[in-house]
Amino acid sequence: MQADYSVLFLCTGNSARSIMAEAIMNQKGQPHFTAYSAGSRPTGAVRPEALRQLKAAHLPTHGLRSKNWGEFAQPGAPWLDFVFTVCDNAANEVCPVWPGQPLTAHWGVPDPAALQEAPGQIEKAFRDAFFLLDRRISLFLSLPLSTLDQFSLKKEIDDLGRQ
């Protein structure tokens, strides 16, 4: 029997990359993974391009919202096994103390929301970010988590952020 794990994806605005990662993990990781997302300075809204990408991939979008990472450092917050930063800003910030002393890794993904290009190029950037996150999450889910010691697991999840 495989254990159950909680994963938090962090980004500054929690409007695109971390939201997509949350949705991907919640779909692909069921029933053993529960994913959340948050931001250090959340925008308060999920980017419509991110929602369109998730819908195109037939992933549920109900309940996705931009939220502050402080929600996950409060008493009663979910116990976290893994925390992945998906943007460079959040990786460089001082994070709250997370319940459970989770393993952390940086999985930087270029910010599609930062583009000021033509709409087609913006959609392509969101699609590229989605596929990069999807690939990393799929590789993460293929790891033999129950057989890896903490040091080996940390190395593996760090390596995934470079793929």
| Residue of 11, 54, 132, 145 marked active site | 11
The structure tokens listed for 16 are 């695109």
Look at residue 101 in the predicted model and tell me its pLDDT.
85
Look at residue 113 in the predicted model and tell me its pLDDT.
83
pLDDT surpasses 90 at 142: yes
54-83 pLDDT, tens digit each: 999 999 999 999 999 999 988 889 999 999
Please give the full DSSP string across 9-57, using - where no structure is assigned. EEESS-SSHHHHHHHHHHHHTTTTEEEEEEESS--SS--HHHHHHHHHT
Reply yes or no on whether 120 is catalytic: no
Mean pLDDT of 138-154: 95
91-103 pLDDT, tens digit each: 566 677 787 789 9
Instruction: Using the Cα atoms of residue 50, residue 22, residue 91 and residue 38 in order, give the sign of their dihedral.
Output: positive
Q: What is the Cα–Cα distance from 17 to 126, expressed in whole angstroms?
A: 8
Look at residue 115 in the predicted model and tell me its pLDDT.
79
The structure tokens listed for 104 are 């952390």
Reply yes or no on whether 95 is catalytic: yes
Poorest-confidence range of 21-25, 112-116, 146-150? 112-116
| Residue of 21, 87, 109, 137 marked active site | 87
**pTM as predicted:** 0.93
Mean pLDDT of 20-47: 96
| Residue of 57, 73, 77, 95 marked active site | 95
Mean pLDDT of 30-39: 96
Q: What is the Cα–Cα distance from 111 to 109, expressed in whole angstroms?
A: 6
